[in-house]
Structure 1
Amino acid sequence: MSELPFNPLELMREHPEKMRVPGGLLTKQGPQDYVGSVPAITGTLFFNDAHLPDVREAICTCFDEYEAVAKAHLTWLWREEPPDGPDKFAYTKAPTMRSMVKRMKENDLLSFTYTSGEQPHDAGEWIFDVSGMRGWEAKMIVRGTSALRFSLPLLYVEENPTAFQSMFVSFAKRLKALHGYGGLGLVLSSVRLSDNQPFEAFLADKLNGLDVGHPVAGAMHAHEGIKTVSWLTAMNYEQVEKIGGLSVIRSELPLDWFALYNYDAGLVIQAGPAPEAAPADQPKPARLVLPNMLLKELRAPKVSLHYASKDGEPRLNGWTAEQWLKRFDIEDAELMAYKSRLLNEPKLTTATTLPDCQ
């Protein structure tokens, strides 16, 4: 197994915007000459009916909003099993998403991955990745959901402290999202996922606040419940009622630290003013522990995060995936201590929250 050529935790804490992880790190073949992953602020939303015209138009409208910000940075478009045309375009030469979608039939796989890597297989800080189920899949009784993931660079979010929340809530509203999450994550090479999951597993063991796993894998169990809590956590109103309704959320999550945003089909909870890395060698942040415990009964019983290990390299599957799901769990007797600890954590400000809080 190859050694790390740099200290990722030091970089993540001091200069995360400079972190460009070589491809294949921690795999048997060792580091490769491409960008395998980069840290960014990532959002994932799970939704239904991607085979229907109105939902496909909603997806296109989400991309319109994303493209308005990301256009100058996007470089490549990948498509999985396109019904016509190549599976890869240089972004500047690609047809518009809407024109490609209009040519698709109900049972075509709706798959678009826009990236900002220099090479087609490089990871980049900007990504818009949507995978919509075929019509025949969506009509099966139990078969997962569709998923959309997008990212904004760390520095962009720092300089525009409500941009990510605004986009996340907007997308959730358009897609009538079932649930979702958003916070610190790694954007992996879109076409070399397996080779770069070991580094994601390594970093997830060090940073509890890191969102992990590809959205398509997560979508396999998304119909069973939420995947995780994060800086932003979305849930539909059926799930809100399952935990006691809005009044219970307001009583358990004080508004000085937690903002609530309505997206028509559900609610988004913002935990604190900024994404939290939550290093594993430090106390767990109360602003992630408290919503985790409140929403624990909504959690899917299992999730798919990574492929199986090939040569003993770190992966998040089986027991390790189960432990990742529980990373913010505490004993009920500890709840009061965490509620007290919350008092010393950063509060929300008008500059870090959207104006239309619940």
Structure 2
Amino acid sequence: MNTLEKLIDQAPNLAFEMSDNTPVVRLGLIATVYFKEGYLLESKQKVLECFDRFKEEFGQHLKGQFDGRYKKLTNESFKKTTLKILETGANEQYEWHISSAPTASEAAEYSLSALNSFEVHGNQKRSYLKITLPWTLLQEADGAARYQNWLLYLCNQVKAEHGYGGLSSILPYDYDSYMPMEFQLAQQFSGLEVDSMVHNFKRELLNHIKGVNWYTILGSYFAEQLGGEDQIRHAFSGRGDVEVLSYDNGLIIRAGELPELGEKNEPLPAAYVAVNRVVKSLRIPNPDQLHTYLPYGDGFEEDSTARWYARFDHEDNQLKAPARLEAGQPCSVTGYWFSPAQAGSRRHFQQGDILPSFSGSSWGDTLWYWSGE
């Protein structure tokens, strides 16, 4: 089966309903971006433009909103909340969610959420903007392109500093009871982003990124830490399954044409592992627990959180391939390898083949990286 066929086959196993048919866990597509200075009026205006566009495109699906409390979304309440946010001061926080879920106890197919920072905190907290769309969008001819256009739009609107996008378990606004399900699914599928407590990372992600998914967003600050745009593009030049896109404030790395679930009994998604290998140094070194409140059973504690963040680090052990090999050494595992020392270098080697060297490369020594079977 190809990637989309696998997704279609597994999707029913990643959704849960209550006895009254209320959906409480859905498989969805998300994009979450973090940005600076959410307290500025200009920033608020840009965020509200995102809400206007979202309502214009998906308004027929939208039924509820959270603005102090969860309530029905109407044209009048939408306008009222817009004006209220524009009138907030630099040290007032606003939180707004618009959603296809009519109540706080139902998981949404469509939603847009925002939470801002305070001026008094300066550069010590981040604001975030998050979109949720149904995974079935990928079955439409232009669905993947529509999702990507939305992700690029959000990044440009708020000059995103970093973020991520891909598949995730979507929980209700009142999510506490369903965190154990999010935890269990994340143990089975490495491609699922754990994002129920997105608001918890605003301080932790000041100088680090959360990690890798289908899309990994790197603002200019983070791109420079990896050597800049040219170096990043060069690092992936040998791979046909990784694309580097530009936005106004940085780069977006896409791992594969479509997102992957990464089922536990299968090899890790090769493109995700390749991106992780390049950006790993930017990741939170000592992450706080993904779930900080566990009243209803199993969830992410300290050890399981650390394992989740490192979930794409273990491919070399699974495949019995080293992280890298120097030119002149024999290939240790039959399959595809690539070297950032030369563009388009990805090629197939048999175990025992001597890995070649590229002379005169500005990259320096020729190092070969595992790229998949």
* TM-score category of the 2 structures, normalised to the smaller one: 0.7 to 0.9
Give per-residue Cα distances to partners, 1:282-302, cap 9 Å, x unaligned: 101110001101001000121
In the alignment, the residues of structure 2 paired with residue 310 and residue 52 of structure 1 have an alpha-carbon distance, to the nearest angstrom, of: 37
**For the Cα contact (< 8 Å) 1:36–1:189, is it kept in 2?**
yes
1:334 corresponds to 2:334:
no
Distance change in 2, residues 1:91/1:15 (3 Å): farther
Structure 1 position 73, deviation (Å): 0.5
Aligned 1:308-327 pairs, distance under 5 A = 308-310=293-295, 313-327=297-311
Unaligned 5+ runs, structure 2: 326-332, 339-345, 349-373
Which of residues 52, 55, 64 in structure 2 aligns to 1:76? 64
**Aligned amino acid, residue 194 of structure 2:** V
Q: Percent identity?
A: 22
User: What SS is found at the alignment partner of 1:281?
Assistant: coil
1:36 alignment partner, one of 24, 27, 40? 24
C-alpha change, 1:272 and 1:46, in structure 2 (3 Å) is same
- How far the C-alpha of 1:218 sits from its partner, in A, is 2.4
Task: Output the CA distance in 1 between the equivalents of 2:294 and 2:162.
Answer: 29
**Structure 1 counterpart of 2:113, from 129, 137, 141:** 129
Q: 1:272 is aligned with what amino acid?
A: G
1:276 counterpart residue number: 260
Indicate the SS of the match to 1:123.
coil
Largest Rg, 1 or 2: 2
Distance 1:33 1:107, change over 3 A: farther
Residues 12 and 156 of structure 1: is their aligned pair in 2 closer, same or farther, counting only changes over 3 Å? closer
Partner in structure 1 of residue 276 of structure 2: 292
> Structure 1's 15 and 257: CA in aligned 2 closer, same or farther, altered over 3 A?
closer
Aligned counterpart for 2:73 among listed residues 72, 76, 91: 91
- The partner residue of 1:204 within 161, 186, 191 is 186
State the Cα distance separating 1:20 from its structure 2 match. 4.1
Of 281-290 and 249-258, more deviation after overlay is shown by 249-258
1 CA distance for matches of 2:194 and 2:20? 22
- Mapping of residues 347-358 of structure 1, within 5 Å: none
Pair 1:161–1:17, CA change in 2 (3 A) = farther
What is residue 16 of structure 1 aligned with on the other side? 11
Distance of aligned partners of 1:293 and 1:234 in 2 relative to their CA distance in 1, 3 Å threshold: same
1:5 aligns with none
Q: What residue number does 1:56 align with?
A: 44
Give the superposition deviation at 1:12: 6.1
Q: Is the 8 A contact 2:45 2:86 kept in 1?
A: no
Aligned residue type for 2:57:
V
Q: Within the alignment, does 1:194 sit opposite 2:176 as a pair?
A: yes
Q: Any stretches of 5+ residues in structure 1 without a counterpart?
A: 1-9, 24-30, 81-86, 345-358
Which residue does 1:230 correspond to in 2? 213
- The CA distance in 2 between the partners of 1:161 and 1:12, in whole Å, is 14
**Contact 2:70–2:103, Cα closer than 8 Å, also in 1:** no
Q: Distance in 2 between matches of 1:88 and 1:310?
A: 22
C-alpha distance in structure 2 between counterparts of 1:12 and 1:262, whole Å: 28
Output the CA distance in 2 between the equivalents of 1:66 and 1:260.
Answer: 26
The alpha carbon displacement at 1:135 in A equals: 2.8
Does residue 153 in structure 1 map to residue 134 in structure 2?
A: yes
Asked whether the equivalents of residues 271 and 287 of structure 1 are also in contact (C-alpha less than 8 Å), the reply is yes
**Would the aligned equivalents of 1:218 and 1:305 in 2 still touch at CA under 8 Å?**
no
Report the alpha carbon displacement of residue 230 of structure 1 after superposing the two structures with TM. Answer: 0.7
- What is the one-letter code of the residue matched to 1:108? E
**343 and 307 in structure 1: CA distance in 2 versus 1, 3 angstrom threshold:** farther
Provide the residue aligned with 1:176 in structure 2. 159
Pairwise CA distance, 1:17: 6.5
CA contact (8 A) 2:97 2:114 kept: yes
TM-score after normalising by structure 2? 0.78
Change (3 A) 1:329 1:339: farther
- Cα RMSD after superposing both structures: 2.6
The verdict on how the C-alpha distance between 1:205 and 1:116 changes in structure 2, with shifts beyond 3 A counting, is same
Counting matched residue pairs gives 317
Structure 1 residues 19 and 75: alpha-carbon distance in aligned structure 2, compared to 1, 3 A threshold: farther
**The residue matched to 1:150 in structure 2 has which SS?**
strand
Structure 1 residue 66: Cα displacement: 1.9
More deviation, 166-175/98-107: 98-107
SS of structure 2 residue aligned to 1:106: coil
> Deviation at 1:79?
1.9
Residue 167 of structure 1: SS of its match in structure 2?
Answer: helix
Task: Choose from 226, 229, 238 the match for 1:246.
Answer: 229
